[in-house]
Structure 1
Amino acid sequence: MKTKKLHHLELEVMKAVWKQGEATVNDVLDNIDRKLAYTTVATTMKSLEKKGLLSHQVDGRTFVYQPLVNEADITHSMLNDLLENLFDNSAEKLVNTLLEVRQTSSAELNRLQELINDYQPETEELSGTQYAKGGTDD
């Protein structure tokens, strides 16, 4: 998937649509945490449609929008872009920076450690040696 970059409002609108499965402009306005003009949300939804992220059907005089991509695809795309552009493709740098700038409870740290311990990377056999996919033997 080509990297999809969404600004804050676009992502907020997409989250409201994903949450409901389909949504009108008024549905989105009812499900976001800030007050915005109807025209602002309508314009954003039209822009998301032009980007290929939403489609719409007409119900009477109302546009009902449906997502054309799932939330996980956008999350992965945006995170990969962040990882490449800010952290030189280093998950270690990303996690270290996250821990430096964010208060993390011991319970959350324990859960993160469990996720790391339980993670099973995809591997490939190369010359009888296991390598993590995309990794190197450094």
Structure 2
Amino acid sequence: MAKADTTPLTEIQREMMEIVWQREEVTVSEVREALSTHRPLARNTVQTMLVRLEEKGWLKHREQGRTFVYSANRPRTLSLGAKVSQMVDRLFAGSPEEMVTALLEYRGLSADEAERIRAMIEAAETEPKQKPKRQR
């Protein structure tokens, strides 16, 4: 079974995962083709990177003949959460309050956004979520 690696994805890993999340199932050739317009990579490079993502627990595969068909093993939100956590640590000295203050002062919120955020906070207070372990 793949280990639970929660380190944030690199830029290229995230690009690959976005393709997987969008298409639901992909082959090495499909990922390579999707990346080719802005990031030409050798087929073997794409294959190696997909294997590494599977080893880290981000992907799983099934075999269709001699072809591996990859799909996401983790939701997109997990990747975003790890990135946001890293950003809070790096830019806001680990303080979510500082991040929210900066966002509110710089951008502000619409009434709809504020209401949705209030609902999320209320839900988080009534059902505490266990934080994923971060690797340092």
Is TM more than 0.5 here?
A: yes
Of residues 4, 9, 12, the one that matches 2:7 is: 4
Map of 1:39 onto structure 2: 44
Give the superposition deviation at 1:86. Answer: 2.9
* Higher Rg: 1
CA 1:20/1:58 → structure 2, altered by over 3 Å: closer, same or farther? same
Q: Which runs of 4+ in 1 moved over 4 A?
A: none
Give the superposition deviation at 1:15. Answer: 0.6
Consecutive unaligned residues of structure 1, counting only runs of 5 or more, are 101-108, 126-132, 134-138
1:17-32 → structure 2 map (5 Å cutoff): 17-32=20-35
Conserved? CA contact 1:3–1:78, under 8 Å: no
Consecutive unaligned residues of structure 2, counting only runs of 5 or more, are 129-136
CA 1:2/1:54 → structure 2, altered by over 3 Å: closer, same or farther? closer
Aligned length in residues: 116
Q: TM-score, normalised by structure 1?
A: 0.68
Q: TM-score, normalised by structure 2?
A: 0.69
The Cα RMSD (Å) is: 2.8
* 3-state secondary structure, aligned to 1:31: helix
Conserved? CA contact 2:88–2:99, under 8 Å: yes
Structure with larger RCO (C-alpha < 8 A, sep 6+): 2
Percentage of pairs with the same residue: 31
Q: Distance in 1 between matches of 2:112 and 2:17?
A: 28
Q: Distance in 2 between matches of 1:43 and 1:26?
A: 12
Q: Which range moves more in the overlay, 48-57 or 2-11?
A: 2-11
